[in-house]
């Protein structure tokens, strides 16, 4: 006869050693403020609605997705960029230069079971278990009105649905990295079984990995169970809580992952005796139909609830895109379906500024830059045409090309001769100075110097002349504070996912281009329609349309932690120039004995042009990146594998 032991204070489970502690601070009044304080028992929490609500806030606080760097330890977050930078630097989207630069381990191929700083499985597990505690115990709270909370059966069921969805979100975040994972669908217990006269302890749920299909099925089931009990919207005082749209969104992206080439197969990139852990076991085209239907449901829900892409005439195309991705609290922004609200305003000098902005703090550490080969293969000019940048040319020619680039490029890239921002970022540091950049004096091998006002550009040796400014673009010019929040689900993603799935079903479906044109219109590009050369070249061709959609997604979702995973699920990471091969940078240098001078407003247009012509640019290789197909999936930490419960991913 099995016996069960409920662990009231914490759960110590062999495969992933964590303390699952339910924390709250009785003085915590702000929704989703990070709680801290005392250890409590389950029985003492679920006696009053107020205490139960604090327990729910703790579920939110431990089920966090935040792509901004927060430093070592990540402030308890499961996902904090790459600790000292943005994850974009670990893909072809970017590069990180300066002291630190942990994203570079992915590019150099030096990450592995003993070194992986992008994701904390332990912290995700804490969130899953806290959610399970809440789900199983919320029904113990007596129905009633305490004055501050009217605890009804409907509210109880709603909060349980919130916890189920947050738990599913954590499973999704682990799944896209590892494949099949141990499913935590209940509060861990220790079951004592008698085997051959000896009592043996077994942890339930099992710490063994489940198949990828089982993991995906669990996430979908959790979404379906949560959807009926979640509201369409919350009042402004509860901003940041998961609503019905978040559940629909999580279901859609999970089904898109299941349909994608990486896993929609019986042949994973690296085969082993445990293929079911990293693939679905078959190539089923019906999975694309499920993904398309789920994305259409998200779009229909969003439009019926007042969501739309931010396209404000007073902001313009570039700044509309900028605000849509970074200014979550701006009343014009109805595009973010869900974003991280676990923190308040980031203080001046926060790590996201310190480690990602090249011009603000003299004590800054690193900067993010865009490789030139990513720019030329991804972005377009203002007319939607491909961009060609010769290997060598004059500064005047470079500026002419850059000025013709599409609005979204202008929102994310700071190129020599452009203002860092149109929103007034840190003018004292040169943010509005179009002359602030680096160049080499007296030829290709001269000293690197800075032109322009304000704090020195970090390092005076940044490996690329074009820097990323997404998110950082919105830092307050007066005190360096930041009110941006990490975007988790943004409406644009679902137009792109819908188009992607439809193309795999029928590349002649007109709705593909209807969805894409919503994105292109806000992006300032002409519609894909008869008479458009791009449309003519891809219409009805599944392969070419697929490549176009992948390119459009790379532009629209730049820097939002999609590309790193998209190139994996599309199974293109091993292509040259994606996650491996030569990557290029651009730099400026004086091309004559006449020195370049600071282009002040005193210069006439003719003098400014002549001055610019004293500089030339060159594009050259700055590094060669490493990829092995085992990297399609993350390795589990070696110390966990050594415990004998977790099967390591193939190749590691």
What is the band of 32 on the pLDDT scale with cuts at 50, 70, 90? Answer: very low
3-state secondary structure of 342: coil
Q: Which of 321, 224, 314 is nearest to 521 (CA)?
A: 321
Torsion of CA 500, 505, 508, 513, to 10 degrees: -20
- Residue 479 in tokens: 């005190």
* pLDDT band at 393; cut points 50, 70, 90: very high
C-alpha torsion 206→207→209→212, nearest 10: 70
Q: Answer whether residue 596 shows pLDDT above 80.
A: yes
Buried b / exposed e over 211-248, threshold 16 CB at 10 Å, is bbbebbebbbebbeebbebbeeeeeeeeeebbbbbbbb
Average pLDDT over residues 258-263: 98
User: Does the structure show a pLDDT above 50 at 15?
Assistant: no
The two structure tokens encoding residue 260 = 């994608």
Looking at residue 440, what is its pLDDT? Answer: 92
Whose tokens are 């339910």? That residue is 22
* pLDDT(33) > 60: no
CA distance 606 to 323: 36
Nearest to 128 by CA among 159, 67, 173: 173
The mean pLDDT of 190-217, rounded to a whole number, is 88
Q: What is the pLDDT of residue 43?
A: 78
Tell me the DSSP string of 450-514.
EESSSSPPGGG--S-S-EE-TTGGGS-TTT--B----EEEEHHHHHHHHHHHHHHH-TT-HHHHH
Radius of gyration of the chain from its Cα atoms, rounded to whole angstroms: 26
The confidence score (pLDDT) of residue 81 equals: 73
Model confidence at 641: pLDDT above 60: yes
Query: CATH 1.25.40.900 spans which residues of the chain?
Result: 231-340+487-551
Beta bridge partners of 394: 616
More confident residue, 31 or 187: 187
**pTM (2 d.p.):** 0.91
Please report the beta strands in 30-121, taking only residues with DSSP state E, as ranges in sequence order: 38-39, 95-98
More confident residue, 473 or 509: 509
Q: Say if residues 496 and 519 touch (Cβ distance below 8 Å).
A: yes
Q: Is 574 exposed, middle or buried (0-12, 13-18, 19+ CB in 10 A)?
A: middle
pLDDT at 205: 83
pLDDT at 8 over 50: no
Torsion sign over Cα 69, 71, 72, 77: negative
Q: Which helix (H) or strand (E) holds 411?
A: helix 407-412
- Per the prediction, the chain carries an average pLDDT of 86
The pLDDT value recorded for residue 26 is 29
* Whether the Cβ atoms of residue 540 and residue 507 lie closer than 8 Å to each other: yes
C-alpha to C-alpha distances, 425 to 176, 290, 357, 420, nearest whole angstrom = 36, 44, 11, 7
Q: List pLDDT tens digits, range 63-77.
A: 988 888 765 334 444
Return the minimum-mean-pLDDT range out of 26-35, 51-60, 101-110, 413-422: 26-35
**What six digits make up the tokens of 597?**
């001078």
Residues 6+ apart with CB under 8 A from 235: none
- Neighbouring CB atoms inside 10 A of 458's CB total 23
Q: Which CATH class is domain 231-340+487-551?
A: mainly alpha
């Amino acid at each position: 006869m099995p016996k069960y032991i409920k662990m009231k204070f914490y759960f110590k489970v062999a495969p992933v050693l964590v303390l699952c502690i339910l924390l709250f601070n009785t003085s915590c009044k702000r929704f989703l403020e990070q709680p801290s304080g005392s250890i409590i028992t389950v029985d003492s929490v679920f006696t009053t609605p107020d205490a139960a609500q604090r327990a729910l806030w703790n579920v939110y606080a431990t089920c966090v997705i935040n792509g901004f760097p927060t430093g070592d330890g990540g402030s308890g977050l499961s996902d904090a960029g790459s600790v000292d930078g943005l994850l974009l630097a670990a893909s072809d989207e970017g590069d990180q230069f300066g002291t630190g630069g942990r994203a570079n381990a992915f590019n150099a191929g030096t990450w592995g079971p003993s070194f992986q700083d992008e994701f904390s499985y332990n912290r995700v597990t804490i969130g899953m278990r806290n959610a399970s505690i809440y789900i199983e115990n919320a029904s113990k709270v007596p129905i009633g009105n305490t004055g501050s909370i009217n605890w009804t059966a409907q509210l109880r069921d709603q909060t349980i649905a919130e916890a189920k969805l947050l738990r599913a979100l954590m499973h999704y975040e682990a799944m896209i990295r590892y494949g099949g994972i141990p499913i935590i669908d209940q509060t861990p217990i220790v079951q004592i079984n008698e085997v051959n006269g000896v009592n043996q302890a077994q942890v339930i749920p099992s710490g063994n990995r489940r198949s990828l299909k089982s993991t995906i099925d669990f996430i979908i089931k959790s979404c379906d169970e949560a959807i009926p009990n979640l509201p369409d919207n919350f009042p402004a005082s509860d901003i940041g809580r998961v609503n019905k749209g978040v559940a629909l969104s999580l279901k859609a992206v999970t089904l898109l992952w299941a349909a994608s080439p990486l896993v929609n197969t019986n042949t994973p990139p690296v085969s082993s005796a445990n293929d079911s852990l990293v693939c679905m076991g078959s190539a089923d085209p019906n999975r694309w139909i499920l993904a398309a239907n789920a994305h259409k449901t998200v779009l229909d829900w969003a439009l019926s609830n007042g969501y739309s892409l931010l396209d404000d005439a007073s902001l313009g195309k570039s700044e509309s895109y900028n605000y849509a991705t970074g200014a979550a609290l701006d009343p014009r922004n109805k595009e973010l379906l869900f974003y991280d609200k676990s923190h308040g305003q980031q203080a001046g000098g926060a790590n996201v500024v310190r480690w990602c902005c090249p011009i603000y703090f003299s004590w800054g550490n690193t900067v993010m830059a865009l490789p030139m080969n990513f720019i030329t293969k991804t972005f377009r000019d203002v007319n939607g045409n491909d961009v060609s940048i010769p290997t060598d040319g004059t500064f005047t020619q470079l500026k002419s090309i850059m000025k013709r680039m599409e609005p979204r490029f202008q929102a994310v890239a700071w190129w020599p001769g452009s203002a860092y921002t149109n929103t007034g970022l840190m003018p004292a540091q040169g943010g509005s100075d179009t002359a602030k950049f680096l160049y080499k004096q007296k030829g290709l091998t001269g000293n690197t110097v800075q032109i322009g006002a304000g704090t020195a550009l970090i390092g005076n040796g940044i490996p690329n002349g074009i820097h990323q400014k997404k998110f950082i673009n919105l830092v307050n010019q007066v005190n360096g504070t930041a009110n941006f929040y990490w975007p988790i689900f943004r409406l644009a993603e679902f137009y792109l996912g819908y188009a992607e799935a439809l193309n795999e079903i029928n590349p002649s479906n007109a709705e593909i281009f209807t969805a894409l044109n919503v994105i292109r219109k806000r992006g300032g590009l002409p519609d894909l329609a008869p008479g458009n050369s791009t449309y003519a070249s891809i219409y009805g061709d599944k392969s070419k349309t697929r490549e176009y959609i992948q390119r459009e997604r790379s532009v629209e979702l730049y820097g939002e932690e999609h590309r790193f995973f998209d190139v994996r699920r599309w199974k293109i990471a091993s292509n040259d120039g994606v996650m491996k091969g030569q990557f290029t940078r651009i730099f400026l240098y004086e091309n004559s004995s006449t020195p370049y001078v600071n282009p002040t407003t005193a210069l006439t247009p003719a003098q400014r042009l002549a001055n610019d012509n004293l500089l030339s640019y060159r594009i050259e290789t700055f590094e060669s990146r490493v990829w092995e197909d085992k990297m399609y999936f993350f390795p589990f930490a070696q110390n966990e594998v050594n415990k004998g419960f977790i099967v390591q991913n193939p190749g590691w």
